[in-house]
Amino acid sequence: MSKAGKKSVRMGLSVGDQIPPTRLQDLGIRGKKAVIFFYGADDAPSCSKELAKFDEQLPMFKRADVEVVGVRNERGIKGTTKVGYNLAVDEGDEVRNEFGIKKDLFGALGGRETYVVDATGKVVSVHNNQFDPESHVTTALSAAQNMPASGLDLKQLAGVIGINLY
């Protein structure tokens, strides 16, 4: 709470935030670089475009050694969706709420947000655009390709083991 006694409003995770290791484990990506994207329903037209675009670009994510996970709530499951990456069910919007993702369009749509995380679970990119689902793929791919290969800062690691690189 702020000094005025009002809660500050926060719109989802930000770059530099850390995702809890248990949540990464639940999503099957603990210790891995990953894209976590939230969407509404398997069969909604804009969501179908996003799912297909991530699937189309999956070889590029794999080349960058980045896993892809799509997240929707149980109401968003519409039959069997066949893609080459994992789809997770967010029962009761637990993960959305933990990430702080707000609903769009006066609460009518679940927020469409995409996070790119390094192997430690630190958020390195955030994208939010309800109306351009394919932009989530291009933004995430750019962030994934620009992430260090190891996900570790070698200068920082050298300092931990007592080597001065400066």
Query: Edge-to-edge strands of the sheet including 123-128?
Result: 86-89, 66-72, 33-38, 113-117, 123-128
CA distances from 6 to 13, 18, 113 (A): 20, 25, 26
Six token digits for residue 74: 């149980």
- Rounded CA-CA distance 149/120 in Å is 13
Are 23 and 31 a contacting pair, CB within 8 Å?
no
CA torsion 89-94-96-75 (nearest 10°) is 40
Give yes or no: 132 in active site: no
- Rounded CA-CA distance 54/32 in Å is 18
Q: Which of 47, 51, 66, 147 is the catalytic position?
A: 47
Catalytic residues: 47
